[in-house]
Amino acid sequence: MKEFPHYFADAEESFNGADFIIFGLPYDKTSSFRFGARLAPREIRKASWNFESFDVLMGIDFTEVPMHDYGDLDIENKNSEDMLESVKRFSKKVIEAKKIPVAIGGEHSVTPGLIEGFDDVFVISLDAHLDFRDEYEGNRYNHACASRRVVDKVGIDNITILGVRSAERKELEKARKDGLKFFTSKSLSGNIDNVLKEISEDVGERKVYLSIDFDVLDPTYAPGVSTPEPFGLEPDDVIKVIKTFADRIAGFDLVEVCPPYDFGNTSILAAKIIRIAIAETWKASRS
């Protein structure tokens, strides 16, 4: 394969001049099935160079979108708590500069640190798994606890999870008891427009943080993820979510791509989804 620059395609603006700050979070220390998500930022960046700067379907020239690729945070060898502190500090730096953070994981355990950078935000998480355990394998900051730690920050009424089809029994019971709002992949099939309308009413005028765990997609589309789960969403479902909330997106992450188990198609799709999310958010901010 041809050598490409080590930054996300077309992200050539300076930090100060950019609206979108892209950064990698190469972390997979708590992975419990497939390891390798730490390699995803590099592979997704590489995949981004597959696309033309001009996108025919969106009518956008990405050379006109003010994006900066900061590179990767130095978190690969840190323990969970130190990793989250590093992510939180950088997230706050980006937000305080009035820019939109675009984080490329890495595993889902990074998301609570990203959320910590916001004062007030509604979280929409796309995930095959509930991730609502209080602790897993002795670690409260395990990737299987991501939603629970986000709730600790934003409250149970300020998060919705879409695409769920896997949870431990007690975890599910706890989520229902606490009033966590989530939608299974089956409940979204043929009904996603109505669900998004309902969530949009819940959100109101508030800003949205979007967390895209790539295992929300059916493995047909994204086989190279850390914990694949059949009977998932289609890429168009994810795009519908992005378009619905584009005018309110304050930041987003894409996590759990696992390159050692990928034939390249997962990273290609991940790079495309990131480009779409940036483009739709940028278009909405200009309208």
Give the model confidence (pLDDT) of 106-125 as tens digits: 899 999 999 998 989 999 99
Answer yes or no: is 4 within a domain.
no
Answer yes or no: is 93 within a domain.
yes
CA 78, distance to chain mean position in Å, is 21
Answer yes or no: is 7 within a domain.
no
Torsion angle of alpha carbons 277, 278, 282, 283, nearest 10°? Answer: -50
Total domain count for the chain? Answer: 1
| Residue 101 domain boundaries | 20-286
Answer yes or no: is 66 within a domain.
yes
Answer yes or no: is 11 within a domain.
no
pLDDT of residue 3: 67
Looking up residue 36, the CATH number of its domain turns out to be: 3.40.800.10
Answer yes or no: is 2 within a domain.
no
pLDDT in tens, 145-169: 999 999 999 999 999 999 999 998 9
- Average pLDDT, rounded, for the chain: 94
Residue 41 identity (one-letter amino acid) = P
pLDDT in tens, 188-225: 999 999 999 999 999 999 999 999 999 999 999 999 99
Answer yes or no: is 58 within a domain.
yes
Answer yes or no: is 14 within a domain.
no
